[in-house]
Structure 1
Amino acid sequence: MRSLCFAASLLSPIALADNPESALQHADHKALHQIQSDISADNIQKDITKLVSFGTRHTLSETESDSRGIGAARRWIKAEFEKISKACGNCLEVYYQSETISGEKRIPDPVDVVSVIAVQKGTTDPNRYVIMSGDIDSRISDVMNFTDDAPGANDNASGVAGTLEAARVLSKYKFNGSIVYAALAGEEQGLFGGRIMAQQAQKDGWRIKAVLNNDMIGNVEGINGVINNTTARIFAEGTRQTETEQEATTRRFTGGEVDSPSRNLARYIDRMADRYIPNLDTMVIYRLDRFGRGGHHRPFNDLGFPGVRIMETNENYNRQHQDLRTENGIEYGDTLDGVNFDYAAKLTALNAVSLAGMAWAPSPPAKVEIKGAVQPSTTLSWQAADKKQNPHLAGYKVYWRYTDAPQWQFSRYVGNVTEFTLENIVIDNYFFGVASVSKDGYESPVVFPGAAGAFGE
């Protein structure tokens, strides 16, 4: 059914302002196809190669050298962001974000954990943010070995290179909301860069609607022998970490375990892959991260922000966190020859079109509520979007699906209203949500009713 829905909308692109009722299908946007096409595998290869050339990017490594260590790497990343900003008329605000960490298991002595942040401010809603991140640091078998070579080609020069390339392409456009490109530090030592950024964003009142953490986006050959460049994984946690006891009680009776904002962010990215990224199928995985493991989206999730991890499907553990060596005919180590640059470009393009789609769309609906118990119909309501922040708003679309369906199945454009009743659609048999729609058809992620699904104000 979903494939038929996508095919129909591709054959009939809509002009929402002229024919709002046709918004039953997603608009097909030439700009997003162009963004996908503009992502360069060659640029990504050059950037990964440069990051590997620093020898090691361990959090505790050299900071004074111009050619080796974490200090040289972050200075080069900052210079690249500044070069991108200069090309777009200084459209990026580029800065270091740091904190001195000590007394930790993996950082016992004081160390400055320094990330590089580049912010592309939105034109009408600059305090609404979507974020793409990659991790600067690398490691080998001994997590405390900061002197030996740790190339970190795939883990995670690929994520940083993808973030730089997304900035090169998206900085050519103007968006309603803000886009942040983040090269985060200290991931291998304890997710410190993400924690520092998330806490600062919360302190500064950033309205974060999405965090797309890219950690290993370049490997296509799995440890199990599978070679596949046509799939990717999106890890998304369920119930919010910040849920209160009262909210948990409400959720028990209304649902929402599989409709956290992170999960609906993942569904949004999944649909963008189906529409705009050739030969890529994404797997939305209902888990915070790989089994028992973590990544830099987690500190944002810890504070209640929507965030997911985007990465390769087939991991090769011989190339992760390994000393460079050959044993029993097996080559160990995270080196350049283990990276498929075309595949890294494909996942970078997925990030870029998702960021662009959300930044061009109106803000996701706030205060979405639902009622319909012991009634033949279901009524959804929501708060009207701020007109100054969202001058391009056309209206809203109501979505619903069967409760065991992974993706939204049915939708109806309902216009610029704040309440709508779906006649003869029984509340007990479906899950429901609402998305904001712009005048040219860009949609926000779908928002599930109540605290369980809220993207924030």
Structure 2
Amino acid sequence: MRFLLPAALLALPALAFAQDTGVTAPPSEVMALYSVQDEVSADRIMSDVETLVGFGTRHTLSETESDTRGIGAARRWVRDQFEAISEECGGCLEVRMIGDTIANEERIPKPTEVISVVAIQRGTLDPNRMVMMSGDIDSRVSDALDGTSDSPGANDNASGMAGVIEAARVLSKRKFAGTIVYAGLSGEEQGLFGGKIVAAVATEEGWDIKGVLNNDMISNVSGVDGVTDNAVARVFSEGTRVTETPEEARMRRFTGGEVDSPSRNLARYIDRMADQYLTNLDVMMIYRLDRYGRGGHHRPFNEAGFPGVRIMETHEDYTRQHQDLRTEDGIVYGDTIEGVDADYAAKLTALNAVTLAGIAGAPPFPAEVEATGAVEPSAKLTWQHGGEGEAGANLAGYRVWWRDTTAPQWTNSRFVGDVTEYTFENLVIDNYFFGVSAVAEDGSETPVVFPGPAGRF
């Protein structure tokens, strides 16, 4: 039976029905993040794209000794940009060249150094908790082994690399609780080797990477599908994590989590940040590791157990990807500067910047999140503090979340304070998905952590 409240009761203010729990919620928005997106410069991004294009080719097998042409000159220039930014912020960036020699691969037949450039902005409270933004330094033409022909790589992927440098310029002026890593990865076109090498170093050195934002082609707005759109970005994320064990798979089968991997909830977080802090940019979440049958530089990090997503344009022009410079049947082929929309690249860079700032500014992620409530009227979440002492000094408390099992985004939440459990009265666990996030005193917040091994960051 349904009961209708009398009109007089409906007219009462909402606070008349609210229960005073004594918990004071932090701000619902971080005002400083609006200035982050305002400071991203389309002109600086375009200037950096032009410089990268000016190296002629950045193919992994190209010239390394020249100061003006080839992958060697390009990666040294990226290093110089990070070092100049570090000088501006009083040495706030640790700039590293991370590489290895690769040989006897399908696209690297002879011994070749694959060197990536990484700049680390250490957090003030929790320096080993990291979030990374990456772009690719290298480029290619039609023949994957052609290291001599001009290969401008303006959109693919000078745009992503320029976005990383610009994010570093903006965010290095600020301090965050956690660490931000800015990465220029190499060898992407030859088999994702730069990402594999950096992910291996991160694993060996114990980096606690909570998210990798891989930017690969962020400046093209007109696609081969005939659509021109500068207001939508795609975010690709895999569902079930590739490192899942057979026992974890068995648990997931009975408790859920197929669409709630940490990478998937990282994507949802990016979507929320776009809605809150950016103007005229919507996020299309794609429930897939990458484009159909293809790959990107977040994949090696996923394979190493780190959450990661791909951020990119929505409408691709394949005549500008992996093409020799030529004109055929009236069609101009090649990834040249004419295909770069700097304003769109700035939007996607700003999306990265506010996401990096939001996660780095947040407290430690909730740990050991679990859900219980089978054959009971109410679901219950429990978790542990993700960091004690100084690492968690900015923690205000936790927010619990719930949504319908078919909802793509988290729809309902409640701040519950500095506690480690919460009971959802009269919400049956069978009918909803649940999660928890950690919130800083200034409102900075982690992505939602889904219960169990399937959702752990």
TM-score by length of structure 2 reads: 0.94
Q: Which residue of 2 aligns with 1:5?
A: none
> Partners of 1:161 and 1:146 in 2: how far apart?
22
Give the deviation of 1:213 after TM superposition. Answer: 0.1
> Partners of 2:216 and 2:171 in 1: how far apart?
20
The amino acid that maps onto 2:444 is Y
Q: Which residue of 2 aligns with 1:367?
A: 368
Confirm whether residue 91 of structure 1 aligns to residue 89 of structure 2.
Answer: no
The amino acid that maps onto 1:429 is N
Q: Which residue of 2 aligns with 1:242?
A: 243
Give the deviation of 1:261 after TM superposition. Answer: 0.1
Residues 183, 38 of structure 1: CA spacing in aligned structure 2 closer, same or farther, 3 A cutoff? Answer: same
Give the 3-state SS of the residue equivalent to 1:453 in structure 2. coil
Residues 271-323 of structure 1: per-residue CA shift (max 9 Å, x gap): 00001111001011110000000000000000111000000000000000000
> Partners of 1:402 and 1:80 in 2: how far apart?
46
Task: Give the root-mean-square deviation of aligned CA atoms.
Answer: 0.9
> Partners of 1:295 and 1:180 in 2: how far apart?
18
Confirm whether residue 451 of structure 1 aligns to residue 447 of structure 2.
Answer: no
Give the 3-state SS of the residue equivalent to 2:141 in structure 1. coil
Give the deviation of 1:329 after TM superposition. Answer: 0.8
Is this contact kept in 1: 2:25–2:417, CA < 8 A?
Answer: no
Residues 363-391 of structure 1: per-residue CA shift (max 9 Å, x gap): 21110001000011011000123232110
Q: Which residue of 2 aligns with 1:421?
A: 423
The amino acid that maps onto 1:447 is V
Q: Which residue of 2 aligns with 1:309?
A: 310
Q: Which residue of 2 aligns with 1:268?
A: 269
Give the 3-state SS of the residue equivalent to 2:90 in structure 1. coil
Residues 327, 261 of structure 1: CA spacing in aligned structure 2 closer, same or farther, 3 A cutoff? Answer: same
The amino acid that maps onto 1:189 is Q
> Partners of 1:133 and 1:278 in 2: how far apart?
23
The amino acid that maps onto 2:93 is L
Q: Which residue of 1 aligns with 2:444?
A: 442
Q: Which residue of 1 aligns with 2:141?
A: 140
The amino acid that maps onto 2:277 is Y
Q: Which residue of 2 aligns with 1:6?
A: none
The amino acid that maps onto 1:204 is E
Is this contact kept in 1: 2:232–2:313, CA < 8 A?
Answer: yes
The amino acid that maps onto 2:454 is A
> Partners of 2:277 and 2:402 in 1: how far apart?
23
> Partners of 1:260 and 1:119 in 2: how far apart?
26
Give the 3-state SS of the residue equivalent to 1:389 in structure 2. helix
Mapping for residues 77-156 of structure 1, pairs under 5 Å? 77-156=78-157
> Partners of 1:28 and 1:123 in 2: how far apart?
21
Q: Which residue of 2 aligns with 1:258?
A: 259
Give the 3-state SS of the residue equivalent to 1:238 in structure 2. coil
Give the deviation of 1:21 after TM superposition. Answer: 4.6
> Partners of 1:416 and 1:285 in 2: how far apart?
34
> Partners of 1:401 and 1:20 in 2: how far apart?
23
* Gapped regions of structure 2 (runs ≥ 5): 1-21
Residues 230-289 of structure 1: per-residue CA shift (max 9 Å, x gap): 000000001111100000000000000000000000000000000111100101111000
Give the 3-state SS of the residue equivalent to 1:81 in structure 2. helix
Q: 1:412 aligns with which of 400, 411, 414?
A: 414
> Partners of 1:369 and 1:388 in 2: how far apart?
25
Give the deviation of 1:442 after TM superposition. Answer: 1.0
Greater CA radius of gyration, 1 or 2? Answer: 2
Q: Which residue of 2 aligns with 1:3?
A: none
Q: Which residue of 1 aligns with 2:7?
A: none
Q: Which residue of 2 aligns with 1:217?
A: 218
Q: Which residue of 1 aligns with 2:191?
A: 190
Give the 3-state SS of the residue equivalent to 2:188 in structure 1. coil
Give the deviation of 1:27 after TM superposition. Answer: 1.6
> Partners of 1:219 and 1:395 in 2: how far apart?
41
> Partners of 2:227 and 2:422 in 1: how far apart?
48
Structure 1 segments of 4 or more deviating over 6 A? none
Give the 3-state SS of the residue equivalent to 1:221 in structure 2. coil
Give the 3-state SS of the residue equivalent to 1:411 in structure 2. strand
Q: Which residue of 1 aligns with 2:404?
A: 402
> Partners of 1:321 and 1:244 in 2: how far apart?
37
Bigger drift between 317-326 and 380-389 goes to 380-389
Q: Which residue of 2 aligns with 1:391?
A: 393
The amino acid that maps onto 1:81 is F
> Partners of 1:403 and 1:303 in 2: how far apart?
28
Give the 3-state SS of the residue equivalent to 1:451 in structure 2. coil
Give the 3-state SS of the residue equivalent to 2:50 in structure 1. helix
> Partners of 1:27 and 1:356 in 2: how far apart?
15
Give the 3-state SS of the residue equivalent to 2:132 in structure 1. strand
Residues 85, 20 of structure 1: CA spacing in aligned structure 2 closer, same or farther, 3 A cutoff? Answer: farther
Give the 3-state SS of the residue equivalent to 2:391 in structure 1. coil
Q: Which residue of 2 aligns with 1:15?
A: none
Give the 3-state SS of the residue equivalent to 2:240 in structure 1. coil
Residues 132, 89 of structure 1: CA spacing in aligned structure 2 closer, same or farther, 3 A cutoff? Answer: same
Give the 3-state SS of the residue equivalent to 1:370 in structure 2. strand
Q: Which residue of 2 aligns with 1:158?
A: 159
Confirm whether residue 347 of structure 1 aligns to residue 353 of structure 2.
Answer: no
Residues 339-373 of structure 1: per-residue CA shift (max 9 Å, x gap): 10000000000000000000000121110001000
Is this contact kept in 1: 2:212–2:308, CA < 8 A?
Answer: yes
The amino acid that maps onto 2:213 is L
The amino acid that maps onto 1:244 is T
The amino acid that maps onto 1:56 is T
Confirm whether residue 49 of structure 1 aligns to residue 50 of structure 2.
Answer: yes
Give the 3-state SS of the residue equivalent to 2:392 in structure 1. coil
The amino acid that maps onto 1:280 is L
Give the 3-state SS of the residue equivalent to 1:446 in structure 2. coil
* Gapped regions of structure 1 (runs ≥ 5): 1-18
Is this contact kept in 1: 2:364–2:385, CA < 8 A?
Answer: no
Identity of aligned residues (%): 66
> Partners of 2:392 and 2:340 in 1: how far apart?
41
